[in-house]
Amino acid sequence: MNHKKRVIIVGGGFGGLSAAKALGGSEAEVVLIDRSNHHLFQPLLYQVATAALSPADIAAPTRALLARYTNVSVLMDEVTGLDAAGKKIKTANCGSMSFDYLVLATGAEYSFFGNDHWRAHAPTLKSLEDALRIRSRLLEAFERAEREQDPVEIRRLLTFVVVGGGPTGVEMAGAIAELAKTALKRDFRRVGAGDLRIILIEAAGGVLSAFPQELSEYSAQALRAHGVEVMLQTKVSGIDKEGILTDGGRIRSANVVWAAGIQARPAAQWLKADAARNKAVRVYADCSVPGHPDIYAIGDVSSFEPTPECPLPGIAPVAKQQGRYVGKAIRARIAGRGYPAAFRYYNWGSMAVIGRSSAVADFGWLRLKGWNAWLAWSMVHLLLLIDFRSKVSVYVNWAWSWFTHRRGARLLTSPTSSDVAATFEGETKEVNA
């Protein structure tokens, strides 16, 4: 008796979820493994970190999203290793599991370029836990500044530094500026705009360097118009509990957010495979790993190079298209239809929001900035949200914020017992995200 082919998908992000859906209803037994029980819409994660949205607005239970596919099961577990020759994966809780086909969609994490000790003082933004930690730090900073007597300490508490001028850094800096202005203007009495400082640090000569120069320059100007100091060609040499050290001097800050440098999670190490500079697995044109035709790598964990000098970017549309492609490819192979044509990425454009009514969009044939780009960005992100409830909730929150100039998720829960309080008191704790 022929057994059902087992397909294991590691990672429930855009790529993994798309692959699982493409395999839904097939003859295969599909198992999706992820460390969390939810699918996260990462492009709006910074809005949770800055109190514009709540976690449930941008996340949905993975099981619910795949419930209609009876051949797909979900395991909340962590993959710790891989036996490629024996076709087995190792997990933290379920032990080893065999597979016929494996899809690696484990994503990426931030790199501190060998300075991992900075992580204790500069949170990154990759998960809901990260976003909530940053939100607590930001809101706690205002609360502490309100009761602080020392003007120097108030200045440190209300100095916010974002490192990295890519889309996440730019969007984060702009959102902090909006949060700070709305919070200080209406709700606080003892601190004011003169105590506030928001800084974006970028080592290169411009922000959003992947965008055309005119949109990059507009973004820097728009950030400055929102009250953000943009420090270009500035390198970070140290981060500690007092703030950040750059080649231009020390900046005292209680809130440093790291949004620079992305590296793939350790799939290449598991496979002992050839990796790109960012540790991503180099793959063939069908997204399979060289030497392992039944193992695929997609999204941020893979390095797909249509041309050697131009690998595909680590963005959600790439992961989603690769996930659909690989799911259909495995489905065809199981049905005996052979290998499909090489994967081809369709670039629908890039967008980044800078602040209220301010964004940039590059569709290749059309470039937008300002209000028109912001409107296009809003519509596209609403359409891309995974379920109807999220679309409605986000729309209502955005509309409310637009008309009232307020943030709807500014809640602190037990701040004095959190790692936030420890950080402000000069202590450090490891936070497992």
Of the candidates 26, 35, 36, 34, the one whose C-alpha atom is nearest the C-alpha of residue 6 is: 26
DSSP one-letter code for 269:
H
- What is the C-alpha to C-alpha distance for residues 9 and 102, in angstroms, rounded to an integer? 6
Choose the catalytic residue: 78, 129, 153, 171.
171
**CA distances (Å), origin 113, targets 110, 166, 173, 277:** 9, 16, 22, 12
Strand partners, 201: 163, 231
Reported as type and span, the H/E element at residue 255 is: strand 255-258
What are the backbone dihedrals phi and psi of residue 411, each rounded to the nearest 5 degrees, phi first? -110, 135
Give the position of tokens 């270009």: 232
Encoded amino acid at 288, one letter: S
Strands (E) across 155-254 are located at: 159-163, 197-201, 228-231, 236-240, 243-246, 249-252
Q: Is the dihedral of CA 313, 246, 418, 149 positive or negative?
A: negative
Alpha-carbon distances, residue 304 vs 71, 73, 301, 308, 417 (angstroms): 29, 28, 10, 9, 45
CB 105 within 8 A of CB 319: yes
Beta strand extents in 67-141 (DSSP E only): 72-76, 79-83, 88-91, 95-98, 101-104, 108-110
Determine the residue type at 46: Y
User: In sequence order, which residues have a C-beta less than 8 Å from that of residue 377 and are 6 or more positions away?
Assistant: 351, 352, 353, 359, 361
The answer to whether the CB of 210 falls within 8 A of the CB of 87 is no
Active site residue 171: yes
Say how far apart CA 3 and CA 96 lie, in whole Å: 19
Stated length of the chain? 433
| C-alpha distances in Å from residue 239, one per residue of 112, 161, 425 | 11, 11, 16
What does the alpha-carbon distance between residue 319 and residue 289 come to, in Å, rounded to a whole number?
A: 16
Query: With the C-alpha atoms ordered 240, 126, 300, 164, is the resulting torsion angle positive or negative?
Result: negative
- Among all residues, which ones are annotated catalytic? 171
